[in-house]
């Protein structure tokens, strides 16, 4: 796509979910995240850990896997406030069911939306969604603290915990500024990082980060199950982009039909029509 060519060097893609989940894994084995090197492959919100090693090369994945099979990613210690809401606690617990689908690897928690969409619907309240939970929780906390600081003219005696974003963005900036070669999970063009996947796909893999930006580490070939899931999701995203560029109703319907979060083409069409109506002030006209 010309869009990809134009925007390729205008930003860096990184997500807090692998960072937050690694914190939980670290608690499970009594380590610090900085003490661990991981191998991971997937897409944003759609991936798997294949190795969790300390600096001496000891592999902790089997130990963490045994814990997750019983408890999910739930731990006894608060990791960060933004992932401590009730919906997040349920999400961390659900990880044990995600692991059961393929016990070889540790799953990203967002896979629950793709593996168990019926469960998500059954356990969701349309009148009080996770967005409402954030508005009433983290957003209210941060905005209230910010307002108090503005009114007092000082941040003295104010405190609220920094989320995952606050810490790893500083790590990323430091790595680029000082060429520290920090190892971080980032979203980059594949270009062979996953050997049996499309080169132009944006994949989430460990990278070495320095002044030249992220350098992906090769993850080799991935299993057919995960590869097929990833290809399906990448195709959804490509069709969405094509639908926008071409103004194509048909391609956007196809994209929603292909998504594992949508049960049928009939539901996909109804969902698309509702989305068009709700976003008519912002979306291009689709034909």
Catalytic residues: 16, 110
* Beta pairing class for 106-107 and 46-54: antiparallel
**Distances 167 to 17, 131, 161 between C-alpha atoms, Å:** 13, 23, 11
Write down how long the chain is: 287
Residue 202 pairs in a beta bridge with: 189
* Residue 85 half-sphere exposure toward CB, CA atoms < 13 A: 17
Pull the structure tokens for residue 213: 């930006």
How many Å is the Cα radius of gyration of the chain?
Answer: 20
| Distance from C-alpha of 24 to C-alpha of 80, rounded to nearest angstrom | 10
Is 174 assigned a ligand-binding role in the annotation?
Answer: no
Spatial neighbors of 177 by CB under 8 A, at least 6 apart, are 211
SS3 219: coil
Q: Identify whether the C-beta of residue 217 lies closer than 8 Å to the C-beta of residue 207.
A: yes
SS3 36: strand
Q: Identify whether the C-beta of residue 74 lies closer than 8 Å to the C-beta of residue 93.
A: yes
Is 130 assigned a ligand-binding role in the annotation?
Answer: yes
Is 15 assigned a ligand-binding role in the annotation?
Answer: yes
Spatial neighbors of 106 by CB under 8 A, at least 6 apart, are 25, 48, 49, 52, 61, 64, 65, 68, 99
> Which residue positions form the known binding site for Mn(2+)?
15, 45
Bind-site residues for substrate: 130
Annotated binding site: 15, 45, 130
């Amino acid at each position: 796509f010309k869009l990809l060519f134009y925007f390729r060097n205008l930003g860096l893609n990184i997500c807090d979910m692998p960072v937050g989940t690694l914190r939980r894994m670290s608690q499970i084995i009594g380590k610090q995240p900085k003490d661990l090197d991981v191998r991971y492959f997937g897409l944003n919100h759609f991936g798997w850990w294949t190795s969790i090693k300390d600096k001496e090369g000891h592999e902790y994945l089997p130990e963490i896997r045994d814990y997750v099979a019983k408890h999910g990613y739930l731990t006894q210690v608060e990791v960060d406030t933004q992932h401590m809401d009730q919906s997040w606690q349920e999400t961390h617990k659900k990880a044990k069911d995600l692991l059961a689908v393929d016990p070889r690897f540790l799953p990203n928690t967002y896979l629950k939306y793709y593996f168990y969409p019926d469960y998500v619907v059954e356990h969701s309240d349309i009148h009080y969604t996770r967005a409402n939970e954030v508005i009433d929780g983290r957003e209210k906390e941060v905005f209230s603290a910010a307002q108090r600081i503005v009114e007092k003219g000082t941040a003295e005696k104010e405190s609220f915990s920094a989320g995952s974003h606050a810490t790893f963005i500083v790590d990323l900036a430091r790595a680029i500024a000082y060429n520290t070669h920090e190892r971080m999970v980032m979203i980059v063009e594949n270009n062979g990082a996953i050997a049996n996947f499309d080169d132009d796909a944006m994949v989430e893999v460990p990278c070495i980060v320095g002044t030249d930006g992220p350098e992906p580490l090769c993850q080799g070939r991935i299993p057919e199950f995960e590869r097929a899931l990833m290809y399906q999701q990448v195709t959804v995203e490509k069709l969405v982009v094509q639908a926008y560029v071409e103004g194509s109703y048909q391609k956007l319907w196809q994209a929603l039909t292909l998504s594992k979060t949508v049960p049928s083409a009939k539901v996909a069409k109804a969902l698309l029509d509702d989305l068009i109506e709700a976003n008519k002030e912002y979306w291009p006209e689709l034909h």
